[in-house]
Amino acid sequence: MSTIPRAAEALVTWAEERLPEMLVDIEHVIRCESPTVDLVAVARSADLVSAIGTRRLGFEPERLVIDGVTHLRWRLGSPAPEAPRVLVLAHHDTVWPVGSILTHPFSIQDGVLRGPGCFDMLTGLVMAIHGVAALGHLEDTAVTLLVTGDEEIGSPTSRTLIEQEAAGCVAALVLEPSGDGGALKIGRKGVSLYRVEITGRAAHAGLEPEKGLNATVEMAHQIAAVTRFADPARGTTVTPTVAQSGTTTNTVAAHAAFTVDVRAETAAEQERVDEAFRSLESVTGAAIAVTGGVNRPPLEVSAAEPLWRRARSLSERMGIELPGAIAVGGASDGNFTAGIGVPTLDGLGAVGGGSHADHEHVIVQEIPPRTALFVALLRDLLGLPVV
């Protein structure tokens, strides 16, 4: 135990010395724009991330293209099934459309780094690559670094891949950005997405409205009904988002539809709300069809709190600021790993703020200690000395 503080101090020093190289890599990935919906841009981003990772890790990743979306996977260490393995998760897609780099240029001023996707989560991606590279040669343990390309739209092509890689791992570490003040994310609500479609009957609104069956009126009843599925005491929100109905101003609406975003802290709450959606009944006689369902399971606090306490213990021994803990409404790929029972800690990436917003930014001085903590946690989980 007496040698750990000295070794941990060396790890922080290593991260500080590595900062200039990390900043170069961060600038490159920010300038290579990668909106999820633009598959060509995502593939181009994958090329760049692959090149950076190959240079830092010493070998090329597996390039996995699923339904046109490009993901990258590096596997390090022992291939033995019984070898302790940690999954490191990052994503290289962003929400910013191509051209945003012109209106939100990359910059570093007064210790603040800016640029599209810098906080969510390109800085964390670079931290993940450099941190895994710091492990060096692994013999009896293993690490998988999985970089996905569709996280921002719910990981439709990468979910199965994530769950397959997480199966049997001792832990999953997610380099998504931190919570306020650098807090680690020990809870994320699960996400369910629904679309409610209503079919009525058209008629002339002036001549014979009584012959119609108004889908807009039915939609109003159904929107009121689904909002009652929410349970604030349990942290469950049910939010109608987008609605469409009708065709012309003088026609009884024959069709209507609306979408609903549901967030819940537990799988049991997701199941309760799902059953409620399946039991919707028409008020006016219009036909109702419900599609959708659970998109991401929750990352429940029980899956993350032990890892957070482990991280706090390491940070205390390393002489760096102790990270707090926070539960948030937004989801990440960590929801999937927690959903299959793998201990998961999220928010290990950049400290800053403004995800998806004009003021998106990263605090540069926080990059080295966060990277050092990430490496220390990796080594600790693998049973390696913290050096």
Domain regions of the chain by residue span: 4-188+298-381, 190-296
Q: What is the mean pLDDT of residues 208-235?
A: 98
pLDDT for the residue 1? 38
Q: How confident is the model at residue 386, as a pLDDT?
A: 80
Q: 289: closest CA among 211, 214, 218?
A: 218
Q: How confident is the model at residue 9 (pLDDT cuts 50, 70, 90)?
A: confident
Of 74, 199, 169, 184, nearest to 124 (Cα)? 184
Catalytic residue, chosen from 25, 27, 120, 151, is 151
Q: Does residue 63 sit in helix, strand or coil?
A: strand
% of residues, the chain, pLDDT over 90? 95
The amino acid at residue 304 is A
Tell me if 32 sits within 8 A of 39, measured CB to CB: no
CA distance 339 to 181: 27
Structure token digits, residue 22? 């990390």
Work out the average pLDDT over 190-214: 97
Q: At residue 357, what are phi and psi to the nearest 5 degrees? A: -125, 165
Q: Tell me, what's the pLDDT at 2?
A: 38
Q: Which residue has the higher pLDDT, 1 or 154?
A: 154
pLDDT above 50: residue 332: yes
Q: H/E element holding 62? A: strand 62-66
pLDDT-derived band at 385, boundaries 50, 70, 90: confident
The phi and psi torsions of 103 (rounded to 5 degrees) equal: -90, -20
> How many angstroms from the chain centroid is the CA of residue 316?
27
Query: Average model confidence (pLDDT) for the chain?
Result: 96
151 a catalytic residue: yes
The CATH number assigned to the domain with range 4-188+298-381 reads 3.40.630.10
* Identical fold between 4-188+298-381 and 190-296: no
Instruction: Render pLDDT for 340-376 as a digit per residue (tens, 0 to 9).
Output: 999 999 999 999 999 999 999 999 999 999 999 999 9
Average pLDDT over residues 63-87: 97
If pLDDT is split at 50, 70 and 90, which confidence band does 10 have? confident
Q: What is the pLDDT of residues 305-324, one digit of tens each?
A: 999 999 999 999 899 999 99
Model confidence over 149-198: pLDDT tens digits? Answer: 999 999 999 999 999 999 999 999 999 999 999 999 999 999 999 999 99
Residues 6+ apart with CB under 8 A from 345: 171, 172, 173, 174, 184, 185, 186, 304, 307, 308, 311, 334, 377
- pLDDT tens track for 32-56: 999 999 999 999 999 999 999 999 9
CB of 299 closer than 8 Å to CB of 188: yes
- Is 380 an annotated catalytic residue? no
What is the Cα–Cα distance from 68 to 50, expressed in whole angstroms? Answer: 17
pLDDT at 3: 46
CATH code, 190-296: 3.30.70.360
Share of the chain above pLDDT 70, in %: 98
- Tens-digit pLDDT profile for residues 105-152: 999 999 999 999 999 999 999 999 999 999 999 999 999 999 999 999
Q: What is the mean pLDDT of residues 225-233?
A: 98
Catalytic residue selected from 25, 33, 93, 300 = 93
